[in-house]
Amino acid sequence: MDFHTTIRPALRRLALALALALAAAGAGPATAAELAPHRAFYSLSLEKARSEHLVDVRGVAVMSLEKACDGWIVGHRLSADLDTVQVVLKQEARFTAWESADGTAYRFAARHETGDERQAFRGRARTGGADGAGTAELAEPAGKTLALPPGTLFPVGHLATLIDRAAAGDRQVSRILFDGSDGQGPRLAVAFVGPRVEPDAEAATRLGPLAARPGWSVRIAFFPVKSREPVPEYEIQALQLDNGVADHMVLDYADFTLRLELQKIEALPAPVC
């Protein structure tokens, strides 16, 4: 496999990795009643390289979960330097999405730059048809329509249902997720949930009350919906707190592993509706 065709989509997926790490099973609309609106700042580093082409990765990511009067707004910014044996590649990524309060309507926009390569994706999606299925229509690139199977969830719906199912004691949950960040169709996310982890006193002292919550160690494998391959495209492991905050996360690809560590977190105000 060509290294650059691997690292570029990998970092594009990393740009929404916190939202994707919250994928799980569950039925019905997501109320997201206990989620804490927040903005989180993460450091990004290379944890392990299994390819001789990649030397180092350094960067930062800012992720936000904001409450709106009619739903939720997910946003991120990512900036990273990729040191390879041939060149240093600069990665910049931005993503924003709005998801309705009932989890059935979704709008998204993404821009990615890696070196001199630029890509943009923008569109809207809806679920909840007569058979529970839905569609995503891309305005950029124009004219592309994607089918969403029955039961497809958007990122905030995945976040809320993972927390609900983990709190209920589920240890393996699967659901189809669509985020629109790469212009591709939905993925099957298979999540493995570990035992409940009690609040970390050191994290609470360093980061504040938003980090002083119980949670679960979650590992999620992502597959194309119709794939028969036993090996996932990639996996995400995170310490997911019960208020929607991710303390840290590891993105595991075949050739390398990247790590995000929470450095700072701030609460966002509730909207005046």
Complete DSSP assignment for 173-185: EEEEE---TTS--
pLDDT exceeds 90 at position 100: yes
Per-residue confidence (pLDDT) for residue 10, from 0 to 100: 53
Q: What is the mean pLDDT of residues 174-199?
A: 90
How far apart (Å, rounded) are the C-alpha atoms in residues 104 and 175? 15
Per-residue confidence (pLDDT) for residue 21, from 0 to 100: 41
Q: What is the mean pLDDT of residues 181-189?
A: 87
Confidence band (pLDDT; 50, 70, 90) for 130?
A: low
Residue 233 makes CB contacts below 8 A (sequence gap 6+) with 187, 222, 223, 224
Complete DSSP assignment for 239-263: EEETTS-EEEEEEE-SSEEEEEEEE
Bigger pLDDT: 255 vs 124: 124
pLDDT exceeds 80 at position 14: no
Q: Is 156 helix (H, G, I), strand (E, B) or coil?
A: helix
pLDDT cut 90: percent of the chain above it: 45
Per-residue confidence (pLDDT) for residue 30, from 0 to 100: 40
pLDDT exceeds 80 at position 219: yes
Bigger pLDDT: 92 vs 26: 92
Bigger pLDDT: 117 vs 187: 187
Amino acid at 176: I
Sign of the Cα pseudo-torsion (232, 236, 237, 242, in order): negative
Given a contact cutoff of 8 angstroms between Cβ atoms, the answer to whether 240 and 166 are in contact is: yes
Domain extents for the chain?
A: 3-267
- State the chain's mean pLDDT as an integer: 84
Per-residue confidence (pLDDT) for residue 19, from 0 to 100: 43
- pTM comes to 0.86
